[in-house]
Structure 1
Amino acid sequence: MDTPSGLHGAHRRGEALAALGDRRLRTAIKSGVLRPLWTNVVVDGSRFLDPLTRGAAALLVAGDDAALSGPTAAWLHGCRAVEDAAVHITVRPGRTLKQRPGLVVHHRGMFSRDVVDVLGLRVLALDRVLSDLLCSVRAQDGLALADEALRNAGAEPEQLRSAIATQIGSRLDPRGTVRAALLLDLASPRSRSPAESWLRWGLVDAGFPIPEVNWPVTGPDGTVHYLVDLAWPSLRIAVEHDGYAAHVGREEADRLREIDLCKRGWIVIRSRAADLGDLGRLLRELRAAFAARGYTW
């Protein structure tokens, strides 16, 4: 059955009705070709879970004076460190748009100047999105998002960092801004995965000095032999995170790498996925390593 094109597969029910007629529309819904999502909105059944489709549907519900925001906007800007199945949308104060299952409504003033077009959708700009999320999500998730955004910025991460800092400083709501500024300072474009970001926050939050991210270990001729995930170079202490996807099938290579680092005078502590849920073992080993270097606090 031919259906209206719609933006990313989202349609106002009235427009679908005008294009198909009542009988064909009911048939399309009954067969799953089209599926109701929210009031007066239907979407292509094959794209029901597509974030683009759901974002377009949310904008159809909210009208012109709205923009996708929060984790939804971050996803559209290519920052996927924080997953949220709900669509987040921002409208001006006083709007009566209500939250409903799968749709989170934020009321914010002075956001229209920060709206950009992403794939035909009205979306808050990345610097505004990051300033909001750094103030509101869990600290480790905020750091992971900031790391990812700076990494994606290519040759201009510091320009993006400055823009985010400006947004934080100009927020009408000051709650969370002190922590947001701290996380932004800690963020690094050298971080390669959310797990590394979560781990780094856990160590800093436990009181350890801020580690270098993906620190290059070089030979006498300056050749880079390894990039150490987290490092305190002056103490020659390293934490290597063994994420499953990046390290499966590399166990022997990782073992030989650790042996070589130890020969070069490094203390190497390995972190695994389970440690992200409970840092106790890792923190004990890391404190022992710092004590072995004569560092106490």
Structure 2
Amino acid sequence: MENLPWTPFLLTDPALGRDPRSVRRLVARGAVRRVLRGVGVRAEVAGSLLLRAQAAALVLGPGQVVCDYSAAWLHGVDVGPGRPGRGPDVLDVASVAGRRATRRGDADGCRRTVAPDEVTRVHGVAVTTPLRTAADLACRWGRGDAMAALDAFARLHQVDAEAHRPMVARFAGRRGVTQYRELVARIDPRAESPRESWLRLTAHDHGFTDLEPQVETWVEGRGWVRLDLADRRRRIALEYDGADVHGDDQKQADDEERRAAMVRDGWVFVVVRGGGFVEPGLSRWVGELRDAYADHGRGSCRRYARGEGAGRHPRRG
């Protein structure tokens, strides 16, 4: 084992200093495990999508690039579970320049037209660029996940609406481009999680367009607090409170105390819990938000001396 590298290697690589039969015996004993067909790694090395991508770099042929969910993950954007019915560790691989889609059982292959300037290298692996990856996902995924991907690429890679305009034009006629064009206009890099993107998009779909992400406001006795989505002028807050966000009981208790303090200061909270993006949960919180706007509408909006830019609280920053 001494001469085996700690990164993926071809099982037939002469540089290992072992004949292929001895390497196969190591696989049979469990000292080496297969990552992809023909590629192994020391058993002690933890599995990851990056490991599989490094393995793919050894066996993918010319004109094959990692794309879609796998490319997003390699760019540091982890926004969804990947394509339904497949594990997140199955590589999405696009064959370009007219080449056949890969038939490897450990890859999800497709054929796609990808320009040379839409391919980059991440850890030595040919990958679609952040812009191209975001565009592909915006066409191929459902609206919520697509919005989350666009927001995340804008936040992490500065791929904003302006950057997408040439790609939208190029994708004219492609399946999914209508959704892509619509969502590009709604990109907001302030969203910090996929669920926040889902929440903002769903609220906007129901006509609540004055809600902004990551609103910071001063609360007496609590200091500066930050809200998932809020209409600062009307003091209406919308937050996601699913089990995937609040597994910590202390964090949950802290959030409830924060909200109680803000309610005393004139805020209204609408909290979306797990299952809130399907019926009947969806209608419940949309109705609550509609009621909040009816109670805190333009005509009845309260004025506070300690509003933004005035009063006794300290300046932010």
* Fold match (TM-score > 0.5): yes
- The answer for unaligned runs of 5 or more in structure 1 is none
Q: Structure 1 residues 45, 287: closer, same or farther in 2, change over 3 A?
A: same
- Residue aligning to 2:187: 187
* Structure with more of its chain in helix, by fraction: 1
The offset of 1:114, in angstroms, is 1.6
Task: Give the alignment's TM-score, normalised by structure 2.
Answer: 0.78
Q: Which one of 270, 278, 282 corresponds to residue 279 of structure 1?
A: 282
- The answer for unaligned runs of 5 or more in structure 2 is 83-87, 299-317
- Residue aligning to 1:260: 261
Q: Which one of 17, 20, 36 corresponds to residue 19 of structure 1?
A: 17
- Residue aligning to 1:96: 100
- Residue aligning to 2:57: 59
Q: Is the 1:200–1:211 contact (alpha carbons within 8 Å) kept by the matching residues of 2?
A: yes
Alignment pair present for 1:143 and 2:143: no
Secondary structure of the equivalent of 2:12? Answer: helix
The offset of 1:216, in angstroms, is 2.5
The offset of 1:253, in angstroms, is 3.3
Alignment pair present for 1:127 and 2:148: no
Q: Is the 2:9–2:55 contact (alpha carbons within 8 Å) kept by the matching residues of 1?
A: yes
Secondary structure of the equivalent of 1:249? Answer: helix
Greater Cα offset, 65-74 or 286-295: 286-295
Question: Aligned partners of 2:38, 2:219: CA distance in 1, in Å?
Answer: 65
Q: Is the 2:4–2:16 contact (alpha carbons within 8 Å) kept by the matching residues of 1?
A: no
Q: What aligned pairs does 1:167-186 form with structure 2 within 5 A after superposition?
A: 167-171=167-171, 174-186=174-186
- Residue aligning to 1:239: 238
Tell me the alpha carbon deviations over residues 246-288 of structure 1, each in whole angstroms, 9 at most, x when there is no partner: 5631344333322332333322112223424542321221122
Question: Aligned partners of 1:151, 1:224: CA distance in 2, in Å?
Answer: 26
- Residue aligning to 1:76: 74
Question: Aligned partners of 2:214, 2:36: CA distance in 1, in Å?
Answer: 45
Secondary structure of the equivalent of 2:102? Answer: coil
Question: Aligned partners of 1:112, 1:3: CA distance in 2, in Å?
Answer: 37
Secondary structure of the equivalent of 1:203? Answer: helix
Question: Aligned partners of 1:18, 1:216: CA distance in 2, in Å?
Answer: 57
Q: Is the 1:58–1:103 contact (alpha carbons within 8 Å) kept by the matching residues of 2?
A: no
- Residue type of the alignment partner of 2:110: H
Question: Aligned partners of 1:235, 1:288: CA distance in 2, in Å?
Answer: 13
Tell me the alpha carbon deviations over residues 22-79 of structure 1, each in whole angstroms, 9 at most, x when there is no partner: 3311211102233334443334434473212211333333212221111111111110
Alignment pair present for 1:34 and 2:35: no
Question: Aligned partners of 2:10, 2:199: CA distance in 1, in Å?
Answer: 44
Question: Aligned partners of 1:261, 1:143: CA distance in 2, in Å?
Answer: 29
Greater Cα offset, 29-38 or 78-87: 29-38
Task: Give the alignment's TM-score, normalised by structure 1.
Answer: 0.83
Q: Is the 1:243–1:273 contact (alpha carbons within 8 Å) kept by the matching residues of 2?
A: yes
Q: What is the RMSD computed on CA atoms of the aligned residues?
A: 2.9
- Residue type of the alignment partner of 2:24: R
Q: Structure 1 residues 236, 45: closer, same or farther in 2, change over 3 A?
A: same
Greater Cα offset, 112-121 or 38-47: 38-47
